[in-house]
A = this chain, B = another copy of it.
């Protein structure tokens, strides 16, 4: 089946806790949902080819490249770079984006190594100091984007503004809203709250509005699940803690619910009657459904899947990669950045009169 989307996705087949045995079935599921997608697969042939043979449709849609080296889940970023640069399956999946062989790369490998390699190979965009990892956050209103969830610790005001722009571009691509709402994560909504960087970023976003986003001020931790804004911006340490706290809380409540429904025969009978409702709830809370961190701010899009996920989770990460490529996320970010930095750039000489306006 030929589709007119013509999207090619490079995949690190060795990534994640289970490697090809989960990554390839995941790609096969995604291919069914997006017929016409092409794949470039990287991995050790002895591990990849037997699994690929079991998925003839995926095999027909794929080009395979043997790579001797795989990055382990516990490799340190520096170690991964030293041993895996230029030749590991992770590196080569990223490199395929750089050489335009692929539109987007997907790996379930370890986050630190993947980010280090992606930065080294793709480099940060002009006007961006630091990349960020954006997560899709399920909310009562639908979904929001939260960034940074762990690329770097700390962010100054300018970096928070960059994150706002990049998250805004991603929201436009993913949710199809024209001017996504953006909030800065803080411990109160008053202007006096929070670290200097956050207050400064808030002041700048108010004083110099960015055309593509609708800045709404500070939001708090409980606004994340409510979906108060389309994009929640924070530095990577706080974002990572918030993300894992929410995941842990969801698991905790799931465990409470399971225990409660098993306690009496009445509860068990009720559970059976309401089974489809519980299934819906489980679907809602299924972390695999929103699997995939998007690396933003590099000259190319890389999607990080959870390492411990199954084929469905990998498929969700590839779905996300497909959406990001289909909607031209990278080009959207580049255009936004160029527009914005042209407007505020110091390189544009201004007469004293005009600059004081």
Contacts and interface: CB of A to CB of B under 8 A. Distances in A.
Interface of A: 76, 139-140, 150, 153-154, 185, 187, 192, 194-195, 220-226, 234, 236-238, 240-253, 255-257, 260-261, 263-264, 266-267, 269-278, 280-281, 284-285
A39 to B, nearest CB: 31
A284 B264 contact: no
A153 B187 contact: yes
Contact of A255 (B140, B150, B238, B263): B140
A275 B270 CA distance: 8
Q: Which 3 residue pairs spanning A and B have beta carbons closest together?
A: A270-B274, A221-B244, A222-B248
Contacts of A251: 222, 225-226
Nearest to A240: B187
Given A153-B195, A267-B277, A270-B272, A245 B247 contact: no
Given A195-B154, A270-B274, A242 B221 contact: yes
A139 B249 CA distance: 9
B276 A264 contact: yes
Contacts of A264: 276-277
Contacts of A237: 187, 194-195, 238
B270 A249 contact: no
Contacts of A277: 260-261, 263-264, 266-267, 270-271
Contacts of A284: 256, 260
Contacts of A260: 274, 277-278, 280-281, 284
A204 to B, nearest CB: 20
A104 to B, nearest CB: 25
